[in-house]
Chains A and B, each alone.
Chain A
Amino acid sequence: MSQRNPFQVIRSTDQPPESLRKDVMGSVKMLMLIMRFAQLFMADYGNLLFDKVRLLGSKPKGTTPGDSSKDS
């Protein structure tokens, strides 16, 4: 076929604007920051919960671990 595929003729050759890179990378860095903060918060929240569980589960002073005779 001698005729050129018109879909190839209309293919866009536009280059993205320079400012786009700055925008995208700025948003990516912001996202990373938010993710880091979220990680930090979640880690602290987990620790807090863990401390609570330990406090509730801890034995009064004077009892040895695994000594169940004093409980009854």
Chain B
Amino acid sequence: MFRKKPKNASTLSDEDLVLELQREMDADRFGVLYDRYTAKVFQKCVGMTHDRDLAKDLTHDIFLKVFTGLSKFDHRSKFGTWLYSITYNYCLDHLRKSKRKQEDDIDEERGPSEHPEDAFEEQLLALRSERLLLVLEQVDPGDRAMLLMKYQDELSVKEIQDILGLSESAVKMRMLRARERALQAYHQLYREDA
């Protein structure tokens, strides 16, 4: 049982670490990946759930999911992107299940909104941060995820496509709906101010 230890796992790139872990599972090497990404994953979970305790549980489960799924990681994307997609999807699944709320089917047939897309964006970005927090708590988890990916993590449509496994038009349509619904929630919350 005199296994050759890796030179220094902390100096390896994410992709090299994953390759080593795919060859042979090792808790110490996985610990290096954990240390690199735990804050990001935890913060993403807090952003999605607004609940530190729940975020802690979700982060724990996400890292176990990553550990058991490492053999399936095919290196076509960066490890960080893959982890990001697991994080978002896991949080979304959890929020949807806990709210027992079915996401509305997207009506792809619906024509363009009478409001220009840019106007929604401008209004959203003009919200005060404390109000935005409340609005995000009101909207569907799927809408929240879309808005956070686009405006907080500044991901491109292509990256969101990869994370959610949707077509370009579906991502754009969901984004539009998410903005619309967030503004509706805002107007309901702050009707007097509107």
Contact = CB atoms under 8 A, between A and B. Distances in A.
A8 B132 CA distance: 11
Interface stretch (B12-20, B36-44, B85-93, B99-107): B36-44
Given A6-B125, A10-B132, A20 B30 contact: no
A57 interface: no
A29 B27 contact: yes
Interface string A6-50: 111111111111001101110111011001000000000000000
Contacts of A7: 125, 132, 147-148, 151-152
A35 B25 contact: yes
A5 B151 contact: yes
Contacts of B148: 7
B87 to A, nearest CB: 13
A12 B60 contact: no
Given A7-B148, A20-B60, A21-B34, A15 B132 contact: no
B129 interface: yes
A25 B46 contact: no
A21 B63 CA distance: 10
Given A11-B43, A25-B34, A20 B59 contact: yes
A14 to B, nearest CB: 5
B47 to A, nearest CB: 5
B56 A16 contact: yes
A9 B130 CA distance: 9
B42 A27 contact: no
A3 to B, nearest CB: 7
Contacts of A5: 125, 151
A31 B68 contact: yes
Interface in B28-74: 30-31, 34-35, 38-39, 42-44, 46-47, 52, 55-56, 59-60, 63-64, 67-68
Nearest to B43: A12
Contact of B52 (A14, A29, A32): A14
Interface of B: 25, 27, 30-31, 34-35, 38-39, 42-44, 46-47, 52, 55-56, 59-60, 63-64, 67-68, 125-129, 132-133, 136, 147-148, 151-152
Which A-B residue pairs are the 9 nearest by beta carbons? Answer: A7-B151, A16-B42, A9-B129, A12-B46, A7-B152, A6-B129, A12-B43, A6-B132, A24-B63
